[in-house]
Amino acid sequence: MRHVNTQKPLISVILPVYNAEKYLVEALESLRYQTYRHFEVIAIDDGSTDGSYHLLKQVAKIDSRFRIYKNAKNLNIANTLNRGLKLAKGRFIARMDADDISLPNRFTQQIAYMQEHPRVVVLGGQCKTMDVSGKLIGRKLFPVSDKQIREALYTTNPIQHPTIMIDKSLLPKDFTWYNPQLPPAEDYDLFFRIGQYGKYHNLPKFLLIYRQYLGSNTFKNPVKTFNVTRKVRFLARTKYGYKPSIKSTLINFAQVAIVGIVPGFLIYPLYVFARGIKSPLQLLKTALRSKAFRRYTESL
């Protein structure tokens, strides 16, 4: 690899890692071989019990852009992200998860757009989806314009967290990043608050291959996740100055009603179907094999 100056990188990539040994090499390689090269990766092992930390140290030996840290104990993702943000040198903050894959031109496309649109505070993009084996199973599509994203924000999360790039220069010095009291919706809460300082945008191009499975943090307990989502929406209305449209308010009421009557094991497949993600049948089959489904049938 040719020498890259890491003293003043333009982009800081924050990569929390927890027991991701199975997928980590592929994720790290997708960062190493980005066509845009002037970035640092702040990778923090969050108390893993597998070989994740060893793999991180190995990549740091061959690529000086990777800065490796380890939490003494598991702090969970919000606290780990906040630690990484304090260590970041770059003006632009990018996110990546340890089980996903950034496509080669991701940073090239994002940095070009951000530099041409200085009022955009957060930029995401479209995603392809894969299963635990790495097989492509579909896609996740998101609204593009600031107006579309603001309208959608009250009823769904219209920005894929691992695709984001944030212009830190538009934020106040004392900006509060991730709230550790709101897992797994700490990113959703951030998106509501960050919109006060600039525009939202999603590139119409695919930037990431997102690993989608029922064991992810978001869908381990979908009812709990939705309840935290409702709390974030309440904070958005009452504290962050967000004003949902009548349409968004009605959709939110419908979502609350549906989650209240639908068995928990069906919530994720229904979400996949409603979002227009491909292959919901495959995810439904997975749901029917899940522990949540067994507990549901045993309670009948």
pLDDT tens across 60-106, in order? 999 999 999 999 999 999 999 999 999 999 999 999 999 999 999 99
Q: Nearest 10 degrees: CA dihedral of 102, 268, 74, 20?
A: -40
User: Are 153 and 191 in contact, with CB atoms under 8 Å apart?
Assistant: yes
pLDDT tens across 15-58, in order? 999 999 999 999 999 999 999 999 999 999 999 999 999 999 99
Q: Domain map of the chain by residue range?
A: 1-99, 100-300
pLDDT tens across 240-298, in order? 999 999 999 999 999 888 888 777 666 666 666 665 555 555 555 555 555 554 554 45
Fold of the CATH domain 1-99: Spore Coat Polysaccharide Biosynthesis Protein SpsA; Chain A (3.90.550)
For 36, list phi and psi in degrees, rounded to 5: -90, 130
- The confidence score (pLDDT) of residue 85 equals 98
Confidence of residue 2 (pLDDT cuts 50, 70, 90): very low
State yes or no: pLDDT of 217 exceeds 60: no
CA distance linking residue 120 with residue 74, whole number of Å: 33
Spell out where the chain has E strands: 11-17, 39-45, 66-70, 92-95, 101-102, 120-130, 136-140, 165-167, 199-211
State yes or no: pLDDT of 118 exceeds 70: yes
Same-fold call for 1-99 versus 100-300: yes
Neighbours of 163 (CB within 10 A): 27
Please provide the CATH number assigned to the domain covering 100-300.
3.90.550.10
Q: Reduced to 3 states, what is the DSSP secondary structure of residue 286?
A: helix
Better-scored residue on pLDDT, 223 or 184: 184
127-150 average pLDDT score? 93
Q: Which residues of 13-48 are buried (b: 16+ CB within 10 A; e: fewer)?
A: bbbbbbbbbebbeebbebbeebebbbbbbbbbbbbb
Confidence of residue 137 (pLDDT cuts 50, 70, 90): confident
Tell me the helices (H) and strands (E) count for the chain, helix number first: 11, 9
State yes or no: pLDDT of 219 exceeds 70: no
pLDDT tens across 167-216, in order? 999 999 999 999 999 999 999 999 999 999 999 999 999 999 999 865 55
For 277, list phi and psi in degrees, rounded to 5: -75, 140
101-123 average pLDDT score? 98
Spell out where 50-133 has E strands: 66-70, 92-95, 101-102, 120-130
CA distance linking residue 282 with residue 263, whole number of Å: 18
- The confidence score (pLDDT) of residue 234 equals 97
Q: Reduced to 3 states, what is the DSSP secondary structure of residue 156?
A: coil
- The confidence score (pLDDT) of residue 282 equals 56
- The confidence score (pLDDT) of residue 224 equals 85
Phi/psi zone of residue 194: left (φ > 0), alpha (ψ -120 to 50 degrees), beta? alpha
- The confidence score (pLDDT) of residue 191 equals 98
State yes or no: pLDDT of 148 exceeds 50: yes
Q: Which residues of 208-228 are buried (b: 16+ CB within 10 A; e: fewer)?
A: bbbbbbbeeebbeebeebbeb
